[in-house]
Amino acid sequence: MRNKTILVMVVLASFTGVKVTAQNLAQAPVEAAPDTLTVNTEGVNDGFDYELWYDRGDVGMILKEGGAFECYWNNINNVLFRTGKKFDCTKTQGKFECTKTHDETGDISLNYGCDYQPIGNSYLCVYGWSVDPLVEFYIVESWGNWRPPGSLSKGTVEIDGGTYDIYETTRVEQPSINGYTTFQQYWSVRADKKTEGIISVSEHFRAWEKLGMELGKMYEVALCVEGYQSSGTANVYRHTLNVGDTTIGTGPENNEKLSVSPPDTARDFAE
């Protein structure tokens, strides 16, 4: 893991309960917690694959035990913080080739808990990719000021005690795990916001396939916090991932809730 030492006041405030304003952002110290990721990076921590990716702004990600993490983002364009599992794949001539479909991996589910405090456009979701066909997928549990993806629903499904709208969108010549290309996005978006509990990921896959939304071989499944032209903080205090007969993560008994106090409103960043 690549450790960085630059941390703005947003994350310090979120962990200590101090209210964030533009004034104390401007006075933010340079020193940082030693295990805070602040540049694009990926790796393995305590059995989980993790990745931080962003293209502008101030971000920080602190990896904790068993897939849990804390993060902040401030005035970014796009950012993804995630921990999960990357499957058996190899990259050949710029494209990933993977070995197993979701039926072959066994049922996938996760148990999570998150103090999620976005200001603006953001998602708390299961995120991942399949190849052959190339598909980027989202199971959105909560969001900021905009409920994605803003298109017509293909149908609804009842899973884990909640109602989800299902969507399919097309991305034309956009960045992907295989470089810039055209690919499909599949979405399940919960009708009511939720920030902890169980997500039966494979049930969503089956619901999509019943609507003709085919998945290929699995590249990745992860718990993700994504932000788009926004700011915020999140504390994933629980993350247990089940794939077939294998379980990784902390379970509900560890990484208990911490007190996260992000800015009260977006106006705090402008004052």
CA proximity to 135, closest of 191, 60, 209: 209
148: cis peptide before it, omega within 30°? no
Q: What angle do CA 206, 209, 212 make, to 5 degrees?
A: 165
Which amino acid makes up residue 258?
L
The single residue of 136, 168, 203, 220 carrying the catalytic annotation is: 136
CA proximity to 227, closest of 56, 18, 91, 105: 56
The single residue of 141, 168, 220, 226 carrying the catalytic annotation is: 226
To the query of whether residue 31 is one of the catalytic residues in this protein, the response is no
Quick check: 163 and 137 in contact, CB under 8 A?
A: no
User: What's phi and psi for 270, nearest 5 deg?
Assistant: -100, -20
To the query of whether residue 136 is one of the catalytic residues in this protein, the response is yes
Quick check: 50 and 69 in contact, CB under 8 A?
A: yes
- Please tell me the distance from the alpha carbon of residue 212 to that of residue 249, in angstroms, as a whole number: 33
Question: Which residues belong to the active site?
Answer: 136, 226
